[in-house]
Structure formats: C-alpha cells, structure tokens
Amino acid sequence: MELAVDNYYSENQASKSTSNKSNKKRKWREIEAILDQRNLYKELEEFDEFGQFSHSSDSAA
C-alpha cells in the first residue's frame, strides 16, 4: 500500500515539475520578446533623433 502511494506521489511530482519547467520557459520567451521589441523601438528612436525618418516623409509631400 505504501509503495502505491509513493509511486503516485512521485509521478504526480514529476508531471508538476515538467509543466512548471515548460511554463517558466514560455514566460522567459515572452519576456525576451518584450525586451527585443523595446530594444528595436529604442534603436528606431535613435535613428529618428537624427531626423532620418521625419525628413523622408517631408520631402515626399
């Protein structure tokens, strides 16, 4: 009887740790995507600071 309870507990813990690992990986991928977007936005702002985007739209008008 104890062996069955121990096996159930260890199987349950193993499945929880697997799902926790996949959830952590998913969260980190989301965080990395947000950081990538922020870095890209900052780079675009640096280009716009030199007037590259604003002048190109003005010259077309």
Q: Please work out, in degrees rounded to the nearest 5, the angle formed at the alpha carbon of residue 60 by the alpha carbons of 54 and 46.
A: 20
pTM of the complete model: 0.49
In the three-class reduction of DSSP (H, G, I as helix; E, B as strand; rest coil), residue 61 is classed as coil
Decide: 54 and 48 in contact? Cβ < 8 Å.
yes
Mean pLDDT of the chain: 77
Burial of 18 (0-12, 13-18, 19+ CB in 10 A): exposed
Helix%, strand%, coil% for the chain, nearest 5: 95, 0, 5
Q: Give the pLDDT confidence score for residue 61 in this predicted structure.
A: 41
